[in-house]
Amino acid sequence: MALGVNALTTWDRAKTTLGFSDEQQAAVEFLIDAVSATANRISGRKLKARDYADIRIDGPGRDSIILPEFPIVSLSGIYVDSSRVFGAESALGITEYQIVSDSGIIRLYSGNFPCGIGNIKVMGNLGFAVIPEDLELAVLEGVGCNRRRLEAGTTGMRQVSADGAVTSQYELGLPLSVREVFESYRSPR
């Protein structure tokens, strides 16, 4: 099994960090993909860098647009066209705009992006080319936690001790430490 496009860590990293054996690779890769998908869902964006050939944005009538995915690794084209044909004549030159990579903002040096629906097309590589350490560690923690629960047969359950008595309760999801990291990458848009 190969890791999917959303994987925020690698099999080798999980194996080394969490001490998995080669026989566990398929199950661990499944968990990496599942926890990475959860990170994307909680953050409201695709965190790992990938190429986008056709992001359509509504023109805001302001000098800047905010891309739905960020950071910006590279841009291969920005087109502004009210007819949404996006021919070569509608391409912006690289000297016409500034990129604020970490925020996913493209700002015109002069003028405004015209108001419109889907009248701006952006092409580029967006997301984290290098996964931040806290994000990768949170994915590894989620993988380890889920693997232990699956092996113990306690998926969906947790043990709670109060006043000397131990009871089982339904697990509410990822450990809070993992969820907090995923939430810290939430898109502000």
Q: pLDDT tier at 161 (50, 70, 90 boundaries)? A: low
Which phi and psi (to 5°) does residue 19 adopt?
Answer: 75, 35
Query: Rounded to whole angstroms, how far apart are CA atoms 8 and 97?
Result: 31
The pTM of this model reads 0.83
Q: Is 163 left (phi over 0), alpha (psi -120 to 50) or beta?
A: left
Q: pLDDT tier at 172 (50, 70, 90 boundaries)? A: very low
Query: Quick count: other Cβ atoms within 10 Å of Cβ 22?
Result: 7
Query: Rounded to whole angstroms, how far apart are CA atoms 112 and 108?
Result: 7
CA nearest to 8, candidates 126, 136, 102: 136
Provide mean pLDDT across the span 4-31.
Answer: 95
Query: Rounded to whole angstroms, how far apart are CA atoms 175 and 170?
Result: 13
Q: Where are the beta strands (DSSP E) in the chain?
A: 50-59, 64-66, 72-80, 97-100, 105-108, 116-126, 157-162, 165-170
Find out whether 28 and 147 touch, Cβ atoms under 8 Å. yes
Instruction: Look at the block and give the residue holding tokens 């004549």.
Output: 89
Domain assignments of the chain as residue spans, ordered by start? 11-46+135-183, 50-126
Q: Residue 2: what pLDDT? A: 84
Q: Which of 10-24, 94-108, 153-167 has the lowest mean pLDDT?
A: 153-167
CA 102, 104, 105: angle at the middle one, nearest 5? Answer: 110
Q: Would the pLDDT of 128 be above 80?
A: yes
Q: Would the pLDDT of 19 be above 60?
A: yes
